[in-house]
Amino acid sequence: MANPATGALLHMRGDWDPPTGIIPRRELIPMAIGVPDSDTIPRSAILEAAKGVIEAPGDAAFVYGFGMGHAGLRDSIAARYRQDRGLDVDRDWFVLTNGSSGAIDLVCRTLIEPGDVIIAEAPTFMGTLRNFRGLQADVRPVSMDKDGMNIDALEDLIDALHREGRPIKLIYTISTFHNPTGATMSLPRRLALLRLAARHGILILDDDAYGELHFVSDPPPTLAALSNGHGVITVGTFSKILATGLRIGWILGRPEALPLFNNMRFAMGLNQLVVRVVERYMANGVLDQHVRSVRGLYQRKMSTFADALDHYAGDVVSFERPAGGFYLWVNTGELKAEDVWRTAMEEGVTCTPGTNFFPGRADPTGNHIRIAFPWTPSAQLDEGARRFATACRRVRDGDAAAPG
Ligand SMILES: Cc1ncc(COP(=O)(O)O)c(C=O)c1O
């Protein structure tokens, strides 16, 4: 009945599923999902924008929208890239999509055949791994460290694949404020990656979901800015800077490349009402003010949580403080991540086991837990760290929550 890819996914644990059979001892503190702080949603500005769209003459917001996506919103997105990201682009460089996951899906559906090789950082975003599995791609991991993808390891992997006679379709990277590690690829590595990929004719897919969310200094220029879009497809989203429920993202690529992807869209367009609401909301630079303010908030939330985790669990876990983004990648040393994950749930804090972020669902780099701090109410961050620390201690002392 189901095709082979769907059949395999059917029996796989969902990446956002809670551990089975665990009854939390207290109301849960959410630290598993990458969602913006609820209090930051600019509700009244969105309401005002929605009113303007609904009251506007004509029915453009209420009929199908074919093509690359609403031109006005693509203009606004292009203007932000020109202003902040060093890219001289216009609307023709953008196709609007259903979030950046929709963008990744579209790019991969267009390019990937079953068995094709995709190289990805290990660890990498579990949602994209699921996408790759759904297309029956052969995902080959490349290691990373605090400066992002390890380019020497990438070169060795490419050489090995060439010896095997395996063409490589795509290199997928989350180059800035990586999910889950928080790492950012250094400028020398960005340049080396571009050179290597160009030499071998391999397309780079740069997932830039978090690139604007730096805490202190700007990250290095994007891969697209460094190559003027040659050999790079970038995906972006309003999910992390504004709200995940909007479901608006985009593919950014050279105009000559985009019709390829656009012709693979069969879903009769995006939600026309929402794209216009976001377009109106973005007028007058309010989004820029909003992004500036959430950067500061997330920096404070990260520091609060990291300080508390050092205080309560500094003897059992270790981690690097990220310079932006949504996540803390916590090394739990000898403590098995899945035990910590289940026990944390019992203690009343959710998190994500590091195993979810590897193609083979095993973490060859040790034991890790991903903590997402932006959605957690500020007042609960300290308590979240305390419960997490209690879970770690319980696992260390042989009192892990039983598998369900
Ligand atoms: C690296 C990365 N890419 C893509 C996505 C998907 O986001 P959306 O489809 O909401 O834009 C996420 C969400 O967590 C992510 O972390």
- The per-residue pLDDT string of the chain (404 residues; one tens digit each, 9 = 90 and over) reads 677 777 767 777 777 788 999 999 999 999 999 999 999 999 999 999 999 999 999 999 999 998 999 999 999 999 999 999 989 999 999 999 999 999 999 999 999 999 999 999 999 999 999 999 999 999 999 999 999 999 999 999 999 999 999 999 999 999 999 999 999 999 999 999 999 999 999 999 999 999 999 999 999 999 999 999 999 999 999 999 999 999 999 999 999 999 999 889 888 889 999 999 999 999 878 999 999 999 999 999 999 999 999 999 999 999 999 999 999 999 999 999 999 999 999 999 999 999 999 998 899 999 999 999 999 999 999 999 999 999 999 999 999 999 87
Report the nearest atom of ligand 1 relative to the CA of 100.
Answer: 11
The answer regarding whether domain 43-285 maps to CATH 3.40.640.10 reads: yes
**Ligand 1, pocket-test mutation among 16, 95, 96, 125, most atoms within 8 A of CB:** 125
> Where are the CATH 3.90.1150.10 domain residues in the chain?
23-41+288-396
**Ligand 1, pocket-test mutation among 35, 207, 241, 356, most atoms within 8 A of CB:** 207
Nearest to 167 by CA among 216, 141, 201: 201
Residue 180, preceding bond cis, omega within 30 degrees?
yes
The amino acid at residue 322 is: P
Q: What is the number of other CB atoms lying within 10 angstroms of the CB of residue 15?
A: 16
Q: Whose CA is nearest to atom 6 of ligand 1?
A: 101
Residue 230 Cα to chain centre, angstroms = 22
The helix-helix angle for 381-396 and 286-313 (nearest 10°) equals 40
- What's the pLDDT at 1? 67
The alpha carbon dihedral of 6, 251, 203, 180 has a sign of: negative
Contacts of 259 (CB under 8 A, 6+ apart): none
Using the 8-state DSSP alphabet, how is residue 367 labeled? -
Give me the phi and psi of 259, to 5 degrees please. Answer: -55, -30
Q: Whose CA is nearest to atom 13 of ligand 1?
A: 34
Contact call for residues 333 and 318 (beta carbons, < 8 A):
yes
Q: For the domain bounded by 23-41+288-396, which CATH number is listed?
A: 3.90.1150.10
**Ligand 1, pocket-test mutation among 15, 96, 240, 270, most atoms within 8 A of CB:** 240
Strand order in the sheet with 94-97: 94-97, 249-252, 232-237, 203-207, 168-173, 117-122, 138-145, 148-149
Q: Whose CA is nearest to atom 14 of ligand 1?
A: 34
Query: Which residues contact ligand 1 via a Cβ below 6 A?
Result: 34, 99-101, 125, 127, 174, 179, 207, 209, 237, 239, 244, 249
Q: Whose CA is nearest to atom 3 of ligand 1?
A: 209
Residue 177 in tokens: 């404020």
